Amino acid sequence: MRRFVFFVLLLAWPGSANAADIVTQSRVDAVTIFPQGAEVSRVAKVRLEKGLQTVVLSDIPADAVASSIRVEGLATGKLEIGSVDSRRLMVPSTDAVVAASERRRIEDEIVILRDQRSAAEAQMQAADAQKALISNLSQLPTRPAPAQGAERSEDWSQILTTIATGSLEAQRNAVDAQVKMRALDRQIEDLEKKLAGVSPAEAERTEVKVHLEALAPVDADLVVRYQVAGASWTPLYDARLSTGDKTTAPSLSLVRRAEISQNSGETWENAALTLSTTRPNASAAIPELNTITVDFPQPPPTPRPVAGVGSGDVDQLRRKLAEPEAMQDAPAELAMAAAPAPIAVRQASVIASPFQAVFAVPGRSSVPNTGEAKRVQLLADKVEPTLSIKTVPREDAKAYLYASLVTPDGTPLLPGPVSLFRDGTYVGVSALPILSPGEKHELGFGVDDLIRVKHSLVEEKRGETGLISTSRTDVRMFKISVKNLHERTMAVSVLDQIPVSNNADIKVEFIGRSTPTKSNVDDRRGVFAWDLKVDANDEAVVDFGYRVVWPSAKTITYH
């Protein structure tokens, strides 16, 4: 069957009031999710006759952005869209036919239970009548004696037996009827509550009316697109490091995942999901810069006296200003002075991503309308890391394993948490910044127990210099030892620091045999790094220190 694509046409729509309304249902077919918000595509299949007609869809969520609603699709013949209208309205939240069928079933159950209760009530009445009859039998001995010469005909043994057995049976029947009635009352009450809940509740929805004109009978697939705010996705990563050994090179598997959540008012069932880094609500243009001027401060203006108002009158007027009707009678100067100042509102900052990428989630997925997180896997990349050891023995006498990697080609890595695994064992969590393809980054993978580090103070000396002791000195020397227990050579970076002077009269000098590889690491003054290559079962030593000189008349402090 030949199919034609039809588009939204901005046409005047004559006679739309006479168009036939075709109420139909749609289903969520595809969703593009942004870091904040989502675009939903719903599909509705309709059969249209020749002429003007209106297709009505009332299953669009209430939170759909009205300005974002668009309609397009496919048809088997010539079909034109004249206009698309949308509005919010209240509709039953459940199917009316299903609700009516359920109501009839519950009502029938209630009728049956009420009949059973009537039978139990009749049993209770019969038991009461039996009790009354037995009570009459028990009154026989109190009747007057028969006339002279007449004989009594009662068999008292039989009467007493009848009274005993009858009383027991009547009481048993009454108790049984009471138990049945209580149980039936509870069942009827529960069903009545359930019946009240089956009544179709109303929920707010967006109704979309699509006015069309078909030149011949056609079958059409209408696609309704709209954006919702109650959705988001965030990137997640798994970094799985295999450290290798003497003969096997290390490897790193970087798995990209996404955490999706939505509370948009509809459930996405069996939908094609696409994740986009685009931010539809972010600013699309640079901000404007206003002119900044510099000037000397101007003297404050001399306050003008309030003409015709004395100090006593001012106090009286200020008391009256609390009354709204008094404000119009107060002088303008006082009214302006007493008016509350507006509260300043901080403007939210908009983060615009410098990258744009789209990830198509394999297959189809369902995301409930609960706000609960759903995780899906996107990509898995293999990279060749460079392993190294970093240690700051002054603060922590441990060595930490790091893997340096170059991000793979393709889409950038967006910021997000990364779960770290070393040789199959979970070692912690870190975070990735925005990384472009080909950019370098380091990830820490926990303590390396085969690297032993020791930090010690080997010399501490204070003294004075100069013939007349014009200066004082403070000399400290340190020794850092690094032992490699691995079967291969390891690259080790040792970080330490010396004091930094904040005063020209205080001089700080680096001393020692070990020259640092880097100074002011990461723009931190006084921080040094020594990059070492330590062979297997070998030990490297870093000897360094510092000398501080300052005027003897002053005292220094370390912070």
Q: Which residue has the higher pLDDT, 20 or 88?
A: 88
Per-residue pLDDT band for 152 (boundaries 50, 70, 90) equals low
pLDDT of residue 140: 58
pLDDT of residue 283: 62
Helix/strand/coil percent split, the chain, to 5: 20, 45, 35
Position 241 pLDDT exceeds 60: yes
Q: Which residue has the higher pLDDT, 270 or 341?
A: 270
pLDDT of residue 454: 96
- Kindly state whether residue 490 falls inside one of the protein's structural domains: yes
Bridge partner residues of 169 (DSSP): none
Cα(488)–Cα(246) distance, integer angstroms: 6
- Kindly state whether residue 494 falls inside one of the protein's structural domains: yes
- Kindly state whether residue 286 falls inside one of the protein's structural domains: no
Per-residue pLDDT band for 284 (boundaries 50, 70, 90) equals low
Do 192 and 219 lie in one domain? The reply is: no
pLDDT of residue 238: 95
Do 110 and 36 lie in one domain? The reply is: no
Cα(63)–Cα(33) distance, integer angstroms: 15
Q: What is the mean pLDDT of residues 147-170?
A: 64
Q: Based on the structure, what is the number of domains in the chain? A: 4
Cα(498)–Cα(509) distance, integer angstroms: 9
Locate the DSSP E strands across 283-385. Answer: 358-360, 365-367, 374-383
User: Do residues 219 and 43 touch, judged by C-beta distance below 8 A?
Assistant: no
pLDDT of residue 311: 45
Query: Which residue type does 308 have?
Result: G
Do 484 and 402 lie in one domain? The reply is: no
- Kindly state whether residue 84 falls inside one of the protein's structural domains: yes
Cα(385)–Cα(264) distance, integer angstroms: 42
Bridge partner residues of 38 (DSSP): 33, 228
Do 254 and 377 lie in one domain? The reply is: yes
Per residue in 501-557, pLDDT (tens digit) is 999 999 999 999 999 999 999 999 999 999 999 999 999 999 999 999 999 888 999
Cα(406)–Cα(174) distance, integer angstroms: 87
Per residue in 77-124, pLDDT (tens digit) is 999 998 899 998 877 665 556 667 788 888 889 899 988 988 888 888
- Kindly state whether residue 220 falls inside one of the protein's structural domains: yes
Per residue in 475-508, pLDDT (tens digit) is 999 999 999 999 999 999 999 999 999 999 999 9
Position 291 pLDDT exceeds 90: no
* Proportion of the chain above pLDDT 70, given as a percent: 78
Cα(176)–Cα(180) distance, integer angstroms: 6
Q: Which of 64-73, 294-303, 318-327 has the highest mean pLDDT?
A: 64-73
Q: Which residue has the higher pLDDT, 36 or 151?
A: 36
Q: Which residue has the higher pLDDT, 195 or 311?
A: 195
- Kindly state whether residue 396 falls inside one of the protein's structural domains: yes
* Proportion of the chain above pLDDT 90, given as a percent: 48
Domain, as residue range, for 532: 451-551
Per-residue pLDDT band for 298 (boundaries 50, 70, 90) equals confident
pLDDT of residue 290: 84
Position 62 pLDDT exceeds 60: yes
Q: What is the mean pLDDT of residues 229-257?
A: 92
pLDDT of residue 345: 27
pLDDT of residue 55: 94
Sheet containing strand 490-497, edge to edge, reads 440-447, 396-406, 386-392, 490-497, 527-534, 518-519
Position 38 pLDDT exceeds 70: yes
Do 258 and 134 lie in one domain? The reply is: no
Per-residue pLDDT band for 300 (boundaries 50, 70, 90) equals confident
Q: Which of 170-179, 262-271, 358-367, 457-466 has the highest mean pLDDT?
A: 262-271
Give the domain-ending residue among 180, 211, 229. 229
Per-residue pLDDT band for 262 (boundaries 50, 70, 90) equals very high
* Exposure letters 211-226 (e unless 16+ CB within 10 A, then b): bbbbeeebebebbbbb
Nearest to 494 by CA among 509, 504, 483, 502: 483
Do 543 and 476 lie in one domain? The reply is: yes
User: Do residues 395 and 419 touch, judged by C-beta distance below 8 A?
Assistant: no
- Kindly state whether residue 415 falls inside one of the protein's structural domains: yes
pLDDT of residue 367: 93
- Cα distances (angstroms) measured from residue 436 to each of 36, 353, 355, 470: 22, 12, 9, 57
pLDDT of residue 10: 40
Give the domain-ending residue among 382, 413, 447. 447
Per-residue pLDDT band for 159 (boundaries 50, 70, 90) equals low
Do 66 and 210 lie in one domain? The reply is: yes
* Per-residue tokens: 164: 């005993």
Nearest to 113 by CA among 188, 176, 192: 188
From the DSSP assignment, how many helices (H) and strands (E) are in the chain?
5, 27
- Kindly state whether residue 25 falls inside one of the protein's structural domains: yes
CB atoms within 10 A of CB 545: 21
Do 115 and 207 lie in one domain? The reply is: no
Do 188 and 218 lie in one domain? The reply is: no
Rg (CA), the chain: 44
Locate the DSSP E strands across 62-114. Answer: 70-75, 79-92
User: Do residues 261 and 231 touch, judged by C-beta distance below 8 A?
Assistant: yes
Position 206 pLDDT exceeds 60: yes
* Per-residue tokens: 52: 């003007």
Per residue in 389-436, pLDDT (tens digit) is 999 999 999 999 999 999 988 778 889 999 999 999 999 999 999 898
**Helix (H), strand (E), coil (C) string for 462-531:** EEEECCCCCEEEEEEEEEEEEEECCCCCEEEEEEEECCCCCCCCCEEEEECCCCCCEECHHHCCCEEEEE
Specify the residue for token string 């930094």: 500
Give the domain-ending residue among 400, 428, 447. 447
Kindly tell me the burial class for residue 353, based on how many C-beta atoms sit within 10 Å of its own C-beta (0-12, 13-18, 19 or more). Answer: middle
Position 187 pLDDT exceeds 70: yes
pLDDT of residue 398: 95
Do 51 and 8 lie in one domain? The reply is: yes
Query: Which residue type does 67 have?
Result: S
Do 89 and 12 lie in one domain? The reply is: yes
- Cβ neighbors of 468 (< 8 A, separation 6 or more) are none
Position 330 pLDDT exceeds 90: no
Do 241 and 224 lie in one domain? The reply is: no
Per-residue pLDDT band for 20 (boundaries 50, 70, 90) equals low
